[in-house]
Structure 1
Amino acid sequence: MELAARLCEGVAEWRDPDAVVEAARQWLAGFFAPVAPEQRGAVFVAVAGGEVVGLVSVNTHRHFTGPVEAYIGELVVAPHAVRGGVGRRLLGAAEEWARGRGVRHLTLETAAGNATARRFYAAVGYREEAVRFTRVLDQ
């Protein structure tokens, strides 16, 4: 949970960073709630020197076009472990988990302003599929 604050990088300025962190914490906590076996996702944790240096959460959902696919809710790496292969290994674990469930696609989202994450995902073979637009309305 200590790494959750890293998930705010590149989030739009109109979003509440505390709400982003809380949403991530709630999402992760949901992985430890009792559910039916076919609804279980997974959380993979990277540990180095007895310290958690990263994690990835993955589950399945149905794409709006119909097929079931895997979805990464969070991928986070501690600042001092970035560029050490932790993120790649965590993605690899999520990909193997997804393959084991017979899904063909693994998707994720990241903030449009998180250029570092976008470059990383592109470098490991992920392609941008959709662009989300938001307009802040005057009150």
Structure 2
Amino acid sequence: MSGIEIRLAEPTDMDFVTSLSPRLANVPGPAWHTIEAMEGFQDRYMSSTFAATALEGSRTLIAWSPDGRRLGYIHMRPGKDGVTDEPCGYVSLLALGKEAEGSGVARLLMAEAETWARGCGYRFLSLDVYADNKRAIDFYTSGGFKPETIRLVKPL
């Protein structure tokens, strides 16, 4: 897709952002969690992420098609490196509408996140992804991300 614009999200974009919650909840996740649990988690996470008290320095960007359709969004916020405790950038959410998958929109949004992180003076940009979400892992590793830790869980 050519001609895609990336803009700061406005309050009127929140309907679009929240409309993608079911897509985020349906990514391959741990087999021991039901879809209802994943949906509940995603709704709670999004509510806290976009609350009026959200972390200072956070930024949400929306990708727009040339004909004015919203295609996806990314939310970045300040974080801390797990080893050095130094400030770093953190991608807390990246979601696309189905029609934008495979179009390069996610790469454009990630490039904006890297620009944001560099502009903040961060040495790192981090994110979390479910271990079962191979498509996302492949996408992020192709963009230069490397695993740092692996959290193991044993259902009892």
Q: What is the CA–CA distance in structure 2 between the aligned matches of 1:32 and 1:77, rounded to whole Å?
A: 17
Q: What is the CA–CA distance in structure 2 between the aligned matches of 1:23 and 1:52, rounded to whole Å?
A: 24
Q: What is the CA–CA distance in structure 1 between the aligned matches of 2:49 and 2:130, rounded to whole Å?
A: 22
1:113 aligns with 2:132: yes
SS at match of 2:91: strand
Aligned residues: 136
1:63 aligned residue: 81
CA shift for structure 1 position 40: 2.7
CA shift for structure 1 position 58: 0.6
1:88 aligned residue: 107
1:46 aligns with 2:46: no
| Matched-pair contact (CA < 8 Å) for 1:31–1:41 | no
Query: Normalising by the residue count of structure 2, what TM-score does the alignment of the two structures yield?
Result: 0.76
CA shift for structure 1 position 14: 1.6
2:3 aligned residue: none
Q: Give a deviation string over 1:34-80, Cα, whole Å, max 9, x none.
A: 459x8230111112233221111110122233111111111111222
5+ residue gaps, structure 2? 1-17
Q: How does 1:1-139 map to 2 (within 5 A)?
A: 1-7=18-24, 8-35=26-53, 39-48=56-65, 49-65=67-83, 66-137=85-156
SS at match of 1:97: helix
Q: What is the CA–CA distance in structure 2 between the aligned matches of 1:102 and 1:3, rounded to whole Å?
A: 30
Q: What is the CA–CA distance in structure 1 between the aligned matches of 2:69 and 2:107, rounded to whole Å?
A: 18
What is the aligned-residue identity percentage? 27
CA shift for structure 1 position 24: 3.4
| Matched-pair contact (CA < 8 Å) for 1:45–1:54 | yes
Q: What is the CA–CA distance in structure 1 between the aligned matches of 2:36 and 2:106, rounded to whole Å?
A: 24
CA shift for structure 1 position 131: 1.1
